[in-house]
């Protein structure tokens, strides 16, 4: 990304800094809770922590992670989880999105 594009970026728009994804997440469903978008799905690769960013139909920050209605610190491969996002993504059921460190 050029230096001038960085200055023209919208203020609230998140940015991916790392170049290589650290994981993949398969979306099973989406919903909204208290105005926040929540993605339900399965971790296909890697580990996901709050603060990581998702890239698919847009970019969003992972705010919280829940497994069976309990807040957890991270999820690993094959875990079914709900990711509470800050920001919105346009994703479809069955879509695989990439996870990046922030």
Count of the separate structural domains present in the chain? 1
Residue 58 lies in domain: 3-100
**pTM across the whole model:** 0.81
Q: What is the model's pLDDT at position 2?
A: 59
How does pLDDT run across 18-65, given as a tens digit for each residue?
Answer: 678 999 999 999 999 999 999 999 999 999 999 999 998 899 999 999
Q: What pLDDT score does 19 carry?
A: 76
pLDDT at site 28: 97
CATH of the domain at 35: 2.40.30.10
**Angle CA(73)–CA(26)–CA(89) in degrees, nearest 5?**
85
**Sign of the Cα pseudo-torsion (81, 87, 93, 94, in order):** negative
């Amino acid at each position: 990304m050029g230096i001038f594009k960085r200055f023209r970026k919208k203020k609230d728009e998140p940015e991916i800094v790392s170049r290589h994804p650290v994981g993949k997440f398969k979306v099973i469903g989406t919903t909204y809770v208290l105005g926040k978008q929540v993605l339900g799905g399965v971790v296909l690769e890697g580990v996901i922590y709050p603060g990581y960013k998702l890239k698919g139909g847009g970019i969003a920050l992972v705010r919280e992670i829940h497994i069976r209605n309990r807040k957890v610190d991270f999820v690993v491969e094959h875990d079914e989880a709900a990711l509470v996002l800050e920001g919105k993504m346009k994703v479809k059921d069955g879509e695989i999105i990439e996870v990046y460190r922030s």
